[in-house]
Amino acid sequence: MRAVIQRVSRASVTVDGTVTGEIGPGMLILICAMQGDDEAKADQMAAKIAKLRIFKDEAGKMNKSIRDIGGSALIVSQFTLAADLRGNRPGFSTAAAPADGDRLYQHFTKAIAAEGIPTANGIFGADMDVSLNNDGPVTIWMDM
């Protein structure tokens, strides 16, 4: 699985003019299931993200996790993270097939929630408008 994690002060996703998910302080997680990924990999990534210390402590150091600050996660499917850029037009053949991608996206969301993190979502496969205030900015790329 592949993810881009952004520390945010707020984030939301809108589909067809309707807000489908929004959060205050926490993480915007753009997630992509890759070919060969499974539920175990989604669980592993969720556990790692839940422990990721990217939030400031009292001294201003990145030393707290999303759980430590009581933050939320906005989780948005993003198959374009699988882009192969060898040419001028990106290829996405390494992304999981849509049915597998949707299944793993849903599983990942449940795994994050099982870590005690409130979640909000976009809609798999939809044309989404994502809005965020990147805090820091802190943006991290993760492959598992």
**Helix axis angle, 98-114 to 39-51, nearest 10°:** 40
Q: What is the pLDDT of residues 88-107, one digit of tens each?
A: 999 899 999 999 999 999 99
Q: Residue 87: what pLDDT?
A: 85
- Residue in 6, 55, 79, 119 annotated catalytic: 79
Whole-model pTM?
0.95
Q: Residue 77: what pLDDT?
A: 96
- 55-56 vs 62-64, strand pairing mode: antiparallel
**25 to each of 33, 67, 99, 117, 135, how far by Cα in Å?**
25, 11, 31, 12, 9
- Residue in 78, 108, 109, 119 annotated catalytic: 78
Q: Mean pLDDT, the chain, as a whole number? A: 96
Fold type of domain 2-143: D-tyrosyl-trna(Tyr) Deacylase; Chain: A; (3.50.80)
Is 108 among the catalytic positions? no
Confidence class of residue 86 from pLDDT cuts 50, 70 and 90?
confident
Which residue ranges make up each domain of the chain?
2-143
Is 78 among the catalytic positions? yes
**Would you state the structure tokens that stand for residue 35, as one six-digit string?**
């070919």
Q: Residue 29: what pLDDT?
A: 98
